[in-house]
A and B are shown apart, each in its own frame.
Chain A
Amino acid sequence: MSRYLLVKLAEVLGAMLTVSFIVFLVLEANVEDVAVKVLGAYSAPDQRQAWLQENGYFDPFVLRYLRWLWNFVTLDWGSSTHYRVPILEILPQRLAATGILAGITLAIMVPVALILGVLAGMREGSAVDRGVSFFSVLTTSIPEFATAVFLSAIFVFWLRLLPGASTMLSGFSVTEMILPVSVLTLYSAGYLARITRASMVEAMRSPYVRTALMKGASTSRIVLRHALRNALIAPVTVVMLQIPWLLSGVIVVEVFFAYKGFGTLLYEAALNTDVYLIEACAMVSVVVVVATQLISDVLYRLLNPRIRFGDEPAGATT
């Protein structure tokens, strides 16, 4: 277990270092560009040169990268050029806002998807099964901005029941949360339901379920005691793997509903070429993704006693 974790941790660190290098390369390889982005398009050339000199931009590239990485690790993330405040003053609160949005979404999406998946997988080919399958194809195929438009058209434009924006200007508002959470739930529930269904179908076909059936156990007993435990291993790890996927959806949904979270922060940073803020956001999202992958991997092994730590993971990584 501990050896497996060490290897995995080394792999993850290697991947993160490479990614950080790419981020740095893409955004800071061209020194002149950085100066223009930080000082603005109307800054004088000699002013830019002086600024670059002062901030050590003429040092060798590798040295600059290492210094940048060290600053990131020691939480010295610099200031946003667009918002004109230290990044650490805005990023955590935006991340928390996104955490609330994602948390509520997961709290609703996971039980709904698991129940739908189990109901569908209990009787393969039944009407419920086909209904759930169709629902999941439908919701996962439609882009999240289109779902947002459709739901807004119905509930904001037509029925006039819900607000069309979720700016949360006058404090936290439940009604403003409904639409963003619904869009994200619809967008992600289908995939999880499909995985749960497939896993449940497989469990229901297994020899131990057949044995239980022949012993005359009731359907509810078979499902609850025998099939469910094994069927839930895959979905639980998929939930963790979905978090990075959710992150992409979150950006779109936050922008659509003007929700002040991590997604809109990254988006605004990108639109305003706010170099340091983009870097910080990109690094934070990579850390989140990698951490959830690690947790998912470990969880899969903890839940599935048939796989020992150190073996090739079977299906956990895809």
Chain B
Amino acid sequence: MNTARLVAGLKSPTVVVGGLMVGIWVVCALFAPWIAPYDPLQNKAPLQLPLSTGPDGSFYFLGTDLLGRDIFSRLVYGARTVVLWAGLATATAFVVGLAMGLAAGFYRGWVDRVLSFVANVILSFPVLVLYILVIVTFGASGINIVLAVTFASAPGIFRIVRALTIDIAAQDYVAAAIVQGESPLRIMAAEILPNAAGPLIVDACLRLGYTTITIGVLGFLGLGLPPPTPDWGGMVNDGRPMAIAFPHMVIFPCIAISMMTLGLSLLADGIREVGLSPVRSGGKEA
């Protein structure tokens, strides 16, 4: 059954195209030192145009920025930043959201009411205002971005997990497990979670995209990872003052981030269509 779905997935053009768009950057992140032609922090000839050769004979595929750093190398290393921090932040958000959602959906009652209220409170914050508040107060660092993303997206994951859990907990096999005297923890992990996996995988792809956008936006606003970390959003922010004269400094990072987020959306759509999951509307972060 699972291999059949895998084959179906590989035949779907949406999955293949999306997977390629994301895959390229994952490969860049893994093998950055071998792919990037130069050190991303090294100051070479400033403001070289794409496809030009610098005074010292180095070739700049995508040109250099204001400080003479090779843009292509920075993009490749920037993929590391995105894959690492977006992956980590989404993973922690999922752990928190899963735990909350399983507990609320399985136990219902006051547990559900308290957790749902907490989720509603957090969701009544406009996300970006929340990020700005957290980052300004606690400073800009990778860990703080992870904390802010977890805080802001766990409630959305909670809602989906909760709804799925309520659905699945009403099934006969869960009732059977309860009668058998299995522990709640085991039921949640062994009975409920595997049956909710499909929609959750789709949601994970979408969330990974949102988180990538978030890290990009924070970088763009100058609230992201502190310089000189190569970071796509930060590169746009750095290049903005000179963008009218040298648009290559901002266009390429924007293409990189758009490729990544579009790839993740396509992947999510493709997986949904292939039927790894029953169709379920996840809802958008408010």
Chain A residues close to B by CB (< 8 Å): 11-12, 14-16, 18-19, 22-23, 26-27, 137-138, 140-146, 149-150, 152-153, 156-157, 164, 191, 198, 241-242, 244-245, 247-248, 251-252, 255-256, 266-267, 270-271, 273, 278, 281-282, 285-286, 288-290, 293, 315, 318
Contacts and interface: CB of A to CB of B under 8 A. Distances in A.
Given A15-B120, A146-B257, A241-B286, 14 more contacts: A141-B258, A143-B220, A149-B247, A153-B247, A191-B284, A198-B281, A255-B220, A266-B132, A267-B132, A273-B136, A278-B133, A281-B129, A285-B125, A286-B124
Residue from A12, A27, A141, A241 with most neighbouring chain B CB atoms (10 Å): A141
A188 to B, nearest CB: 10
B251 A248 contact: no
Contact of A266 (B129, B250, B282): B129
Given A14-B117, A145-B216, A252-B217, A245 B137 contact: no
A149 B243 contact: yes
Given A150-B254, A164-B244, A143 B128 contact: no
Interface in B15-47: none
Query: Which 4 pairs from chain A and chain B are nearest by CB?
Result: A318-B283, A248-B128, A146-B254, A141-B265
B221 interface: yes
A238 B251 CA distance: 32
B233 A278 contact: no
B243 A152 contact: yes
A176 to B, nearest CB: 15
Contact of B220 (A141, A142, A145, A245): A145
20 contacts: A12-B124, A18-B121, A137-B269, A141-B209, A141-B258, A141-B261, A141-B262, A143-B261, A144-B217, A152-B247, A156-B244, A157-B243, A157-B247, A245-B285, A251-B129, A251-B132, A252-B217, A267-B221, A270-B132, A288-B126
B126 A23 contact: no
A84 to B, nearest CB: 20
Interface of B: 117, 120-121, 124-129, 132-134, 136-137, 159, 209, 213, 216-217, 220-223, 233, 236, 240, 243-244, 247, 250-251, 254-255, 257-258, 261-262, 264-266, 269, 281-286
A247 B247 contact: no
Contacts of B126: 244-245, 247-248, 285-286, 288-289
Nearest to A148: B254
A312 to B, nearest CB: 12
Contacts of A153: 247, 251
Residue from A23, A256, A271, A318 with most neighbouring chain B CB atoms (10 Å): A318
Contact of B124 (A15, A157, A318): A15
Given A252-B217, A267-B132, A273-B136, A19 B258 contact: no
Nearest to B245: A157
Contacts of B125: 19, 285-286, 289
Nearest to B233: A145
A2 B247 CA distance: 57
A251 B223 CA distance: 13
A172 B132 CA distance: 29
A248 B131 CA distance: 10
Contacts of B222: 271
A15 B122 CA distance: 8
Contact of B137 (A26, A156, A191): A26
Contacts of B216: 143, 145-146
Residue from B159, B240, B247 with most neighbouring chain A CB atoms (10 Å): B247
B133 A26 contact: yes
A245 B284 contact: yes
Contact of A146 (B243, B247, B258): B258
A318 B281 CA distance: 9
Nearest to A272: B136
Contacts of B221: 251-252, 255, 267
Contacts of B129: 247-248, 251, 266, 281-282, 285-286
Contacts of B269: 137
A150 B262 contact: no
B128 A252 contact: yes
A221 B77 CA distance: 57
A251 B128 contact: yes
Nearest to A143: B213
Contacts of B124: 12, 15-16, 19, 286, 289-290, 293
A258 to B, nearest CB: 10
A283 to B, nearest CB: 10
A135 to B, nearest CB: 12
Nearest to A271: B222
